[in-house]
Amino acid sequence: MSDALMKNYAPLPVTFEKGEGVWLWDTEGKRYLDALSGIAVCGLGHAHPAITEALCQQASQLVHTSNIYHIAQQQALAERLTALAGMERAFFSNSGAEANEAAIKLARLYGHQRDITQPTIVVMEGSFHGRTLATLSATGNRKVQAGFEPLVSGFLRVPYNDLDAIAAVAKNNQNVVAVLVEPIQGEGGIRIPDDDYLPGIRALCDEHHWLMMLDEIQTGMGRTGHWFAHQHVALQGNAVPDVMTLAKALGNGVPIGACLARGEAAQIFQPGQHGSTYGGNPLVCRVGLSVIETLEKGQLCAHAAALGQQLLDRFSERLAGVAGVTAVRGRGLMLGIELDRPCAALVSLALAQGLLINVTANNVVRLLPPLVMTDEQAQQLVDQLTPLICQFLSSH
């Protein structure tokens, strides 16, 4: 292999040359079942005809202008997303990290407008918000931050799923302006908080005039069975955020991120305060519209909820009583199988058998299959992965 690339990745020994739905084929012609979908990016699977058509049509007309002009596709996508999310305005970027950067900047402006000179954002242990300097500073993972000090200041970290910890911060810090939280921690190990957690944060934000900011970059766009993961807890109380970030599945592989806002937060950015050269250009926004249309047409949010529950039930049944399996959990097609030991080696074992999975938080098998996965393919995933986990546990 060429040595011309920087060493910031450690890729597995495989190169893919084509894909279709949940399947990928490597350069040797071997087929793989993709239960990771580019880490939740390809929600519609690979080479979806609607996305291919949208890309080709838009590319043949206009790929890029600039945000110094009106962009019809950007306006249309903003209207669709804000309507789905109950928000008011959108800013488009190229990635999830940039979407979170926008949210962080927005929160700081909000603080300064309230005469808070050192605006502080409450963030969570075990979180992941990106790898730019500000977002890795917000991230609750020391491995991501190591070596990049000094970090960006202005973040206060508390344990995830701990409302009392956030309430304690409110008593002791007058500089807090926002809470940034994932509705389900993905990189943190598919950690699903209690149902009252997000409504509780909403209540604390309302009481103290903080912005509630949700990072739905991995959980959004139908992944968990609703358009957005916070919508699962609507019956427990209001969990609608003031700011919400999206990326990954919004473009099904075409780089796009979005920062949505409502209420006072939607009025904060003024011309010249933030921007992105490529963000929201005609090509990516046309694809984003096609993603939404395809999810709606195929009723894929409901499909993700139903198929995810089937996978959860099947894995729970097959792994029940297996020594070393400590938990099987998930919501929609975002599932985690937690073991009592590090299990990164499972990724290579699965790869050798034509199965693409991921391990996160050192000991959690993370599954993020495409939303177009069929029941038969889901069963194949269970039939392939279960014996692999058992084999791994018996030999490590």
Which of 41, 53, 25, 1 is CA-nearest to residue 290?
A: 53
**In the 3-class helix/strand/coil scheme, how is 269-308 assigned residue by residue?**
CCCCCCCCCCCCCHHHHHHHHHHHHHHHHCCHHHHHHHHH
Residue type, 84: L
**Spatial contact of 216 and 226, defined as CB atoms under 8 Å apart:** no
Classify burial at 2, counting beta carbons within 10 Å of its beta carbon; exposed 0-12, middle 13-18, buried 19 or more: exposed
**Spatial contact of 247 and 92, defined as CB atoms under 8 Å apart:** no
Which residue's structure tokens are 């149902």? 195
The residue from 215, 269, 315, 392 that is catalytic is 215
CA distance 57 to 161: 45
215 as an active site residue: the answer is yes
Per the DSSP assignment, residues forming a β-bridge with 366 are 336, 358
CA distance 83 to 102: 20
Which residue's structure tokens are 């058998």? 353
The residue from 92, 128, 228, 315 that is catalytic is 128
Give the H or E element holding residue 358.
Answer: strand 358-360
The residue from 248, 269, 315, 392 that is catalytic is 248
228 as an active site residue: the answer is no
Tokens of 361: 């938080």
128 as an active site residue: the answer is yes
Which residue's structure tokens are 């699977």? 45
The SS3 of residue 150 is: coil
The DSSP letter of residue 46 is B
**Spatial contact of 162 and 194, defined as CB atoms under 8 Å apart:** no
Catalytic positions, please?
Answer: 128, 215, 248
